[in-house]
Every structure is written in structure tokens, then in C-alpha cells.
Structure 1
Amino acid sequence: MAMPRPADLASDLLDDFRLDMAEQLPRCEQLLIELEHQPEDTTRLRALFRQVHTLKGNLGIVGFQRLMPLPQALEDILSALREGRMRFDSVLGDILLLSLDHFREQLAEALDSAPARLDNNARNALSQALRALAAAPGARQAEIRQTLLHHLDPATRLEPAAIAAPNDIQQLLGRHGIPVDADLLLFTELMQASEQRSHYWQGRGLRLLSLALGMNAMAGSPINPAQLATAVCLHDFGMAFLPLDILHKDQHLTREERKQMQAHPRLAFDLLKRMPAWDEAGEIILQHQEHADGSGYPKGLSEREIHPGALILNIVDTFDARTHERAHQTLSKRPRLRAILEINNLAGTQFSTHWVEQFNHLLQQRPQLAHL
């Protein structure tokens, strides 16, 4: 049932409140993403605490005290972090992001009668779980965090993935008007063979193909779909020849390991040079780690110099890497929300703003693609 709004709330006050929320919630999300990269940054932690505290105070001003339990629970977590009773890590960051998303839905329900996923009882249970996490001893933190994350987003629980059946890939290519000739058959088979190098890669190729071809179709197919599909199939072929201890390393790579990792596009590019019909796919592969602002590799190209297919591949590759980056460490995936926020925050720097917009439109129209 929708929450009633205070009857005597002045419209100008309500408008100001909406504007404040429209600024405060994205700022909270941005600070959480920044804290993941710099978890010891007390300045950002204080800024996040102030944002949540102000947000909670604004709820009181407009008479929405019934919405306060969840922000108060978030404040309890942040207080524990500031006092050194908790340690910030990516799991906790994901929990806080997902909790903020539920609060955003609760707010939309109160303001606009928009349906929310959680009812009042479920939100109260979430608030209690967050407060219990803030009070839990350090020895139990990891277990509680993992349980709470899986409860907030069951999709983060990693299930064994099967390598996509050849028919699944061929049907996907067919839907995008791509004839599966001898070359495409070879490329898809090489992709599937690569997935067997690490069982955390299984199913990855089909996910990437679905997103990349979908984004291209969303934009009116400016890139030859067969060339784009070939690039997706082979772009990480060189990674399959790296030692698994480098592929699965959860600490910073050494300089030599980074050089090995960054050299991986060259292998597939060199292979495709022997097949002139796939020159465009080779170019996409060689450039898929270039960034829109010129900060990528191997050549530091800017957006206007980068093949559009490489701009697409950079986005979908990052989305899949972010959602699955904990797979080999904790046997869990990361929330899709977190990956989508990061991609949008990096529009105009790492990623092309135009292609981020296509990515967003695709997931809005076909949200199931984010669940593959």
C-alpha cells in the first residue's frame, strides 16, 4: 500500500526536498564507489556520513519520519567505520549501494506512489540487519556481510555456469542477421575453448555477445555485426594463454604481470591479420582497451580515433568483469547496480558517453540482458 504524504506539506518545500534528494543520493553512490578504490580515505568517509545525516534530517523536515529507519541504519554502519569498529571493503560497499537503492524506491513510493520491491516489514528487517551488522564483532563480519549481500541481491550468489551450447550462440548470431559461415564457426569454437581455461569464464562469451550486438542494434547497427561478433569472440583469446595465477590474482599485478596482461589483444590481432576479411574485427580487438579520454592502451587513442566497435566492447567487457570480479575469490558476483553505476560515472572518461547512453537504453528495454 502506498504511503500517504503529509497533507499540509507546502509544494515549494516538497519541490526543494525532491531536488535535494536528486543530488544527495547520487552523491552517496559516487562516494561509495570512490571509497572502494580508497577505503582508508577518511575525508570521503566523513563526506558520506554527512550526506546520509543530512538526508535523514531532511526527511524530518518534510514529515517523512517513517522513512528514517533505513538511513539511520546506514548512519550506524558509517559511524562504526569512522570509529574503526568496522573495515570498509567491496562487499560492504555493495550492501550499502543496494540499501540506498531500496531507500530510493521507498522514497518514490512515498512521493509518487511508485511500487517498491520491499514492503514496510521487509524494509524494517533490512534496517535491523544493517544495525546488527554494525554491532557485530569483527570475527563474524565476513560471514554476516556475505549473507546479507546474497539476501539483498540473490543474483550475486554464483551458480555453476555452463559453457553456452553452440546452438545458443548460433541462434543469437542469427537474430542479428549474422550468417554462421566457416569463419564464424571457428571463432565461436575458439571462444568456447577459451572459456574452459577457467571455469569462472564459462558463459562469458554469450553474455558479451548479447550485450555488444544489442547495443549496436540499439544504435541502428552502425558497425558490421559480423565484424563486431568476431571481435567479441576473440578479443580475450590471448588471455587464455596467461598463467592462471595471474588471471585469478586478487592483489596488485607486478609491472611484468601488467605487461603480460596488456599484451593480450595482440595475439588475436596477429591471427586475424592472416584473414584479410576480418581486418575490421582485428582493429576492434587491438583498440578495445583504449579509453575515450585517451588514457587507455596500447596507443592512448582518444574517442574520435577509436573504432566504435572497440568503444562498445570496452563497456560490455567492463560490465561483465565488474559483475564477476569476485568470482574466483568469494564465489559470488557483484550487484548489477554497482557495475551500471560505475559505467555511468565513467562516461566521458573511460567510456564513450554516446555508447553509455546506448548501454542504458538497451538495459531499460531488455533488462534481462543484465541478468545473463
Structure 2
Amino acid sequence: MGKQELSLEIVEPEAFHDFMEVMSDYAPQVEHLVCQLGFGDTDAAQIDQLFRLLHSIKGDASMCQVRFVVPFVHALESLLERLRSGEVAYEDSIGDVMLLVMDRLGLALEALENHELLDDLQLPLLLHALNGTVESPVGELLQHCRQLVEQITGIPLHAMAPEAPVDAALLASRGDLAFFRLLAVQFEQRLPQFLGRTERNLALALEASRQAPGVVDDDQLEAAVYMHDIGMMLLPESFWLKNGRMSELERRQMAEHPGWAAGLLERMPAWAGAARMVAQHHEMPDGRGYPLGLRGAEICDGARILALVDAFEAVTLKHAHRGLRHSMMRAIAEINASERQFDPLWLARFNQVIRLRLAACARRPAGG
């Protein structure tokens, strides 16, 4: 199906705004119901409620002339109908497909609203693959769902070897690093949602770095992980978990926070590498980042890793109510749908790290 058939445009601005408003109500309801299915609540009433909700989204999209949404939601209805009829038993991959497709539609709606390019979202390819999945024979449906999830996230879900544990306590026991870690832990204790983020970010960063041994110094990267958000402590708390658009003044203030932490590290000669990582971790390969608008090779490898870790943590935190596995899937899918913001080589390595983590989640017993 060609792009023009999806009508990726705003036909009637006021109607589009109305649809965005109702989607802000619909999307959390879909998410809640799908997550309930994942938690074992697969009774007929739950599935019927989800089916009616999808039908309402499709109807409102058609009425508001947001036509590209209709075939995606219709396909999800068809997938749910196969579940509702008892043709196939629920598996997490079915819920993953539903959540990830809804997420991709949400990203597309936001991009249209902000007059941004939609090419990275690859909607025509996604629709083609979704229709193929929905129409697959009953014996192949679940496998097709798993393959579609892999296509959306960029993460193969085949069984993998267990992830290697990271002994962060030993790394943090050394002089300066212990001090940096103390600052990071003090910051995370300012909000309940932040608890544990220091160790999560450290583990992710080191695992990503070790996908290319010797490229990034582990000690410098560790220091950068601890210090990269310390400058946020000088901003109002309203900035820390802000959703939606920032004002121009807020953007200028936000752009200053990497420099504050980097400045502290620069005053310690042993940590010049970490200072550079912290200063650059919001830069982007295409020059659209901040604070300096650096491009490509001007951005150091440690900063490229830190950018991925920071984005992954932000999205998983925002969607933590989905449960660990679903929030990870949402985060890696969004990162891969925004690939121009990240270095492609490090994105591929980061995908491998998340692949291992998702495999580890799959091996855990239910409720574990």
C-alpha cells in the first residue's frame, strides 16, 4: 500500500484536534485493558470491552477524517476477533502488537500535529505487515505476531543467553566515583519515580559499551552516568517529569543543564572524558540537539551511549504502569522509530542489550 493511500495529512484541523482530544482518553483505556489481558484477565467481558473501545476509535477517526488511523484499528479489531472467537489463545505477543501499533499511531498523530516528518515511522510497511499477520493461518498467527513485534521494536525475541550481572557496587567504591554516585543517589531520592534509576542507567550504559569493547572507557562512562542529570537539580522540579511541550524559556533553561554538570567534571583533570560525555549527551547526529548543535563525529561515543540510556529510561519511566516487559517494549520501539536522533551503530548495539533483557523477562516465572 502506498503512502498516499494512508492520507497522512490533516484534512480538517478542528476535527483533527477533536480526535486528538478523544485519543487522549481512549489510548490509556486501551493500554489498561491490554495490560489486564497480560496479567491473566482474559475473560470474555474484558475482551468485549476492548473490542468496543477499538470500534469507537475507528468510528471517531473516520468521522474526524483522520483516515490513516482506520485501517490500523480495523486490523487490530480483526486480531481481537480471532481471540474473542476462541480461535487462538492469548499470548503476550498479541498484546504487544496491539500496544505497539497504538503507540506508533500516537507518534504519527503527534508528528502531524507538530508538522514533523513521518518517514521514520514507516506506516505503510507497518500496515502491510499488520494485515499479513491478521490474515495468517491459525497455526501461524502467534509466530506472525512475534515477528511483527520484532519488526516494530527492532529486537528479535528469540531465546538468548542470560545477561551478565554488573557489579556496580565494586565500581562505585573508588574515591571520586563514590562521590559522584552519592550525588546521583541524592537526586533520585527527590522523587519516588526516580528510585533505582542510577543503577538501572549504569547497568544499561556499561552493557551497551561492552558491545564494542575498548571504544569507551568504563570509568569515564560510569562517572558520566552518575553526573549527567545533576544539573537538573538546579532547575524547578516541574521540569523533571514534564510531559508535553516546553515554552521557549523552558527550552533555553533545559539546554543549560548538561553544561553545569560538565563544568564540575572539567575542574577535575582525571574526568575530562566524562565531562565531554555529559556536555554532549543531548546532541544529535543531525545537529538538532543541544547545547551546541554538534553533528556526527563531533559527538563522542560515550555521549551517544548516554543519549540512548537517557531516552530509554525516560520512556520506561513514563510507561512503568504497563509492567516491566511492556514498558521496555514501548521504550525500544519509540527509540527505533526516532532513529535519526541516535547514532545508528550504537543504536544497533543498544538493541542487542535490550534483546537480552527482554529474553530474560520471558524466562522469569509469572508474577516473578
Q: Structure 1 114/256 Cα, relative in aligned 2: closer, same or farther at 3 Å?
A: closer
| % identical aligned pairs | 33
Name the CA distance, whole Å, in 1 between partners of 2:67 and 2:266.
53
Name the CA distance, whole Å, in 1 between partners of 2:166 and 2:70.
50
**Amino acid of the residue matched to residue 174 of structure 2?**
D
Q: Which has the higher contact order (CA 8 A, sep 6+)?
A: 2
* Residues 133 and 144 in structure 2, CA contact (< 8 A), matched pair in contact too: no
Q: How does 1:23-62 map to 2 (within 5 A)?
A: 39=20, 45-53=66-74
Corresponding position: 1:222 with 2:215: yes
**Amino acid of the residue matched to residue 223 of structure 1?**
V
For residue 233 of structure 2, what is the aligned residue in structure 1? 240
* Residues 220 and 271 in structure 2, CA contact (< 8 A), matched pair in contact too: yes
SS at the partner of 2:68?
helix
* Residues 108 and 114 in structure 1, CA contact (< 8 A), matched pair in contact too: no
Corresponding position: 1:195 with 2:188: yes
**Amino acid of the residue matched to residue 239 of structure 2?**
I
Corresponding position: 1:172 with 2:165: no
* Residues 293 and 302 in structure 1, CA contact (< 8 A), matched pair in contact too: yes
Q: Structure 1 201/370 Cα, relative in aligned 2: closer, same or farther at 3 Å?
A: farther
Q: Report the RMSD for the aligned CA atoms in angstroms.
A: 4.8
TM-score, normalization by structure 2: 0.57
For residue 197 of structure 2, what is the aligned residue in structure 1? 204
**Amino acid of the residue matched to residue 210 of structure 2?**
A
Q: Structure 1 231/56 Cα, relative in aligned 2: closer, same or farther at 3 Å?
A: same
Q: Structure 1 203/56 Cα, relative in aligned 2: closer, same or farther at 3 Å?
A: closer
TM-score, normalization by structure 1: 0.56
| Structure 1 runs not aligned, ≥5 long | 1-19, 28-34, 82-87, 90-96, 118-168
**Amino acid of the residue matched to residue 302 of structure 2?**
G
Name the CA distance, whole Å, in 1 between partners of 2:304 and 2:145.
34
SS at the partner of 1:300?
coil
Corresponding position: 1:309 with 2:302: yes
Corresponding position: 1:342 with 2:334: yes
Name the CA distance, whole Å, in 2 between partners of 1:115 and 1:228.
39
For residue 179 of structure 2, what is the aligned residue in structure 1? 186
Name the CA distance, whole Å, in 2 between partners of 1:278 and 1:232.
12
SS at the partner of 1:335?
helix
**Amino acid of the residue matched to residue 184 of structure 1?**
L
Tell me the matched-pair count. 257
Q: Structure 1 170/267 Cα, relative in aligned 2: closer, same or farther at 3 Å?
A: farther
Deviation at 1:51, TM superposition (A): 4.0
Name the CA distance, whole Å, in 2 between partners of 1:331 and 1:55.
19
For residue 346 of structure 2, what is the aligned residue in structure 1? 355
Q: Structure 1 260/370 Cα, relative in aligned 2: closer, same or farther at 3 Å?
A: farther
SS at the partner of 1:366?
helix
Deviation at 1:325, TM superposition (A): 2.5
Name the CA distance, whole Å, in 2 between partners of 1:259 and 1:230.
25
Q: Whose radius of gyration is greater, 1 or 2?
A: 1
